[in-house]
Amino acid sequence: GANNKALEIFNGTDNELDLSDYTLDFYLDGSDEVSHSYILAAGTKLAAKDTLLLVHPDAELALREKADILVDALTFNGNDYITLNDHKGALIDAFGKKGVAIVFFANQIRVRKSNIIQSNNQFDTNEWDIYYKHHYEILDEHPTEFPDGFTYNAEHLELDFFTQPNGMLKVTYISNNDGDTARFKELDESVRFTGINTRETNDPDPKIRELAAAAGAFVRQRLSNATEIYVHHDPYSGNTETYERYLAFVWYDGKLVNYEVVLHGHSENNYNDPKETLVYNGVTLNEWFRRAESYARANRLGVWA
């Protein structure tokens, strides 16, 4: 809902902090000036290694139940700049970019990475992990390690691949030529992998053909040696595409090969579900794919070399 807003303050020191008269300043919708402020009440204490969770009073119950303080001043919407200032007015920490009205942070939970142990009055998006907007379990628990992987939802195994979004079908690998299409015994047409687009094996450029061959070998090695493979009907993209092929996520031994192709640099990320239907370990599949491309770029893998 529109008022599912929260802000968490963490005391990473070994001593209790007195937050009396500390101020949160809100610069809303790209404003260069303070839109409004919230002053923490006299006597507000924050124990060592503990969190203080502020929640809007009109948030849904699951979020309100985690609150330490209900604060109606939490009216940000994703394009705001928020600062924490001590009782003398000194800037302690900041989130967002002052004067920037582009919506970057809507409908998500941002949590500082566990290795960031200092506040930063110059906001750096690389210091923060992104979680699903309703993953409230992460709140009031800091520091938190970002999950190191994910697997499919076992409930989806009960759904029919052909007729139901999120349906899954156990299949037997036959072959693949490139890195984004394969054939399986149980399906009469080949399967195009959702969210990726590897290089073409018939490209006139030999460097492109080399990348295509590497992508094909990457997928072949995983699928040909897998104990268990499932195709998965993406609830956003569907399970068929324009060339009358099936369209699917492909899971092998609990791992998503579409994601791994991006992670290892064999394709750019082409997956984006605006409805954020799929969430694994508290992280949207959109974000898993985004992080995969970011990793491949940073390490100059495959197409990013």
Query: Could you read off the pLDDT of 84-128 as tens digits, one per residue?
Result: 999 999 999 999 999 988 888 999 999 999 999 999 988 999 999
> Is 146 among the domain residues?
no
Residues 53 and 24 in one domain: yes
Query: How much is the pLDDT for 102?
Result: 86
> Is 143 among the domain residues?
no
Summarize pLDDT for 155-174 with one digit per residue, the tens: 999 999 999 999 999 999 99
> Is 51 among the domain residues?
yes
pLDDT at 251 over 90: yes
Token pair of 130 as six digits: 């992104």
Residues 161 and 125 in one domain: no
212 touches 201 (CB < 8 A): yes
Task: Tell how strand 229-232 and strand 283-284 pair up.
Answer: unpaired
**Confidence band of 244 (pLDDT split at 50, 70, 90):** confident
Of 109, 138, 167, at which residue does a domain stop?
138
> Is 280 among the domain residues?
yes
Of 86, 114, 138, at which residue does a domain stop?
138
Provide Rg for the chain, Cα atoms. Answer: 23
pLDDT at 209 over 90: yes
Residues 230 and 284 in one domain: yes
pLDDT at 22 over 80: yes
Residues 233 and 168 in one domain: yes
Instruction: Give the CATH number of the domain where residue 85 resides.
Output: 2.60.40.1260
- β-strand partners of 248: 193
**Average pLDDT of the chain?**
97
Residues 24 and 129 in one domain: yes
Residues 288 and 166 in one domain: yes
pTM assigned to the model? 0.94
**Confidence band of 1 (pLDDT split at 50, 70, 90):** low
Q: Cα(154)–Cα(132) distance, rounded to whole angstroms?
A: 19
Residues 223 and 255 in one domain: yes
Residues 166 and 109 in one domain: no
Residues 164 and 234 in one domain: yes
Query: How much is the pLDDT for 203?
Result: 95
81 touches 90 (CB < 8 A): no
Query: How much is the pLDDT for 246?
Result: 98
> Is 1 among the domain residues?
no
Of 153, 134, 12, 144, whose CA–CA distance to 63 is shortest?
134
Widest distance between CA atoms in the chain: 71
Summarize pLDDT for 28-84 with one digit per residue, the tens: 999 999 999 999 999 999 999 999 999 999 999 999 999 999 999 999 999 999 999
Instruction: Give the CATH number of the domain where residue 299 resides.
Output: 2.40.50.90
Instruction: Please state the separation of Cα 166 from the chain's center in Å.
Output: 19
Q: Which domain holds residue 47?
A: 6-138
- Percentage of the residues of the chain whose pLDDT score is greater than 90: 94
Of 104, 138, 172, at which residue does a domain stop?
138
Q: Cα(270)–Cα(280) distance, rounded to whole angstroms?
A: 18
| Number of domains the chain contains | 2
